[in-house]
Structure 1
Amino acid sequence: MSKPIEFKAGTLSAVTALIRELDNVRLADTLHAMLGGTGEFFAGEPAVIDLSQLKTAPERADWSGLGSLLRRHGLQPVGVRHVPEHLADSARKAGLAVLGDKAASSNEQAVTAPTAAKAEPAPAAEPAARPEEATRRAPTMVIDRSVRSGQQIYARGTDLVILGGVSNGAEVIADGSIHCYGPLRGRALAGAQGDATARLLCTNFGPELVSIAGVYRTFEKGIPPVVAGKAAHARLVQQNNQNSLSIEALTLD
């Protein structure tokens, strides 16, 4: 007789919402600017709220309002990490799991594809590198195939090179820059950990979304003719003391 319930070990791929201010009004304005007012953009993806870069911790947090704000853009908040101790109980009461660093690390690595090469060990004469240094020195990840719909590739701590295309519904993420040598049709997020110098280069531009260091641009109204189907280059530029996403055509000959 089969049991009415079973438990199996598994991993969950979740979006990380790196929040630097627990001010829901400012967060709402920022999300509107980043996503162009697009409702349900993330299509129900689970999200982990990361407060590791929180500038100032308020005495209280409106977890319910924050959850509603994220759900408005299609994210389903499931937990919070790096939460200040005095805010942990209220987060639990709001239905959020308070996650430890180990759980968060396992979650992020669950979507990491194998790299094309292994990092070389440091010379014996040098002291062992700290974990964050090792991440920054990771070799470039090379994917020598196309990324199909529903697949996700994450180049943690390095650049990502794709020798094929990225289909609609696929997602490619890199902490560094992204180079795509086939048609780019899905989502491409470079500088995922906040590297504003990261860039996105492709030979055939037609994505659903592009992002550099958290600055997003979507294309519900179509790709601009100047870059549609052409080689293109996306980067951040300074405008009015704020980062703006610039997308330009590339001349290859």
Structure 2
Amino acid sequence: MLKEVIATRFITPLREGGSLPGLVEADDGGAYVLKFSGAGQGRKTLVAEVVVGELARRLGFRMPGLVTVELNPLLGLGEPEQQVQDLLRSSGGTNLGMDFLSGALGFDPLAFAVDPREAGRIVWFDALVNNVDRSWRNPNMLMRQGELWLIDHGATMIWHHNWPGAVASAARPYDASDHALASFAPDVAAAAADLAPRITEDLLAEVTAEIPEVWLAGEPGFDSADALRRAYAEPLLERAAVIHERIEGIK
């Protein structure tokens, strides 16, 4: 299970991307980028972050460590901005934290080079999880000490916002024409040969077991958290075998 920490200080909001995460200090002394349960799509965004982030880590991608962060909604009463106060008040309980990568720079495809092998692995992985938010406009990658890190996977597996249509949605091709790494000649075939066989039922069961139960409770159409965990795993298992043939927009 993910490590559990308690937020002890709200440091500052972080104004990047489409959401408004915050930087917090926790009772273990660590600094974490906090993703609020009360923001945007709520807990489903956090579930996507866990499933995709932990899957990425197990496949060898660089990912900030993930933790659950218990948040007292009174923590930010002194915050001057109403939007931040509203988020804190609506996000009491279990939230998601990511290790703060000090010194990291946002990836710029015009400033950093990526070899075709690494580019292919990332494009294939984004196709697997249907990441619609890794464009050249908003790469959601960081460079730190010459290494590429993946962040922000809340906009993945979009089929989980409509479970009755999940099978049809998960079968659709992936458009990589706007992908941040499309210009680096991504070797998708090599990535598929390496990564697809590693997407197994056991691996996906291990990954989905990391989802906190509180974020799965009460989902319409599912009688247990385990049934919902299996629903997250099934499209990924099916997609892994064929998605390299359905990636559009790259040469």
TM-score (norm 2): 0.28
Answer 1 or 2: which has greater strand percent: 1
Find the structure with the greater CA-based Rg. 1
Answer 1 or 2: which has greater helix percent: 2
Higher relative contact order, chain-length normalized (CA < 8 Å, sep 6+) = 2
TM-score (norm 1): 0.28
